[in-house]
Amino acid sequence: MASIFSRIIAGEIPGRFVWRDDVAVVMVDIRPIARGHCLVIPVAEVDHWLDLDPAVTAHLFEVARVLGKAQMAAFRPQRVGLMIAGFEVPHVHVHVIPMQTMADISFANARPGDEADLDAVAEALRAELRAMGRSEVV
């Protein structure tokens, strides 16, 4: 059975995409830990990040790096953190989280996002990625 992320990537379920290429997508997390929290997800469904092809791993982290620069410009956090937990959905996803302190990278902070604010976050990131000249913007 396809993961929820595979279903979103396939368009069966809506998602707030900000990036799409042949290898990865980026979407705004609907239960953000902090404002601007996004997920970098490989298109191919792989359960554990240790099982990813090394080229896919490198691509995911490059996308996360570019996204982090867009988050820094859009939201002005102190840092942008990364996390791969892998328990929530059996499909690799890299959490890219704007942070003011270390406490901001805790799942205890996750809350359902306000629909209008999630849309605003997505558009702010798309605008920053476009300003960076990125053609992968959805």
DSSP tag of 8? H
Q: What is residue 50's predicted lDDT score, i.e. its pLDDT?
A: 97
Full-model pTM: 0.96
* Percent of the chain residues past pLDDT 90, beyond the cut: 96
On the question of pLDDT at 1 being above 80, the answer is no
Q: What is residue 86's predicted lDDT score, i.e. its pLDDT?
A: 87
In order of start, what are the domains of the chain with their CATH numbers?
4-104+115-131 (3.30.428.10)
| Euclidean distance between CA atoms 6 and 27, whole angstroms | 12
pLDDT tens for each residue of 48-106: 999 999 999 999 999 999 999 999 999 999 999 999 998 989 999 999 999 999 998 99
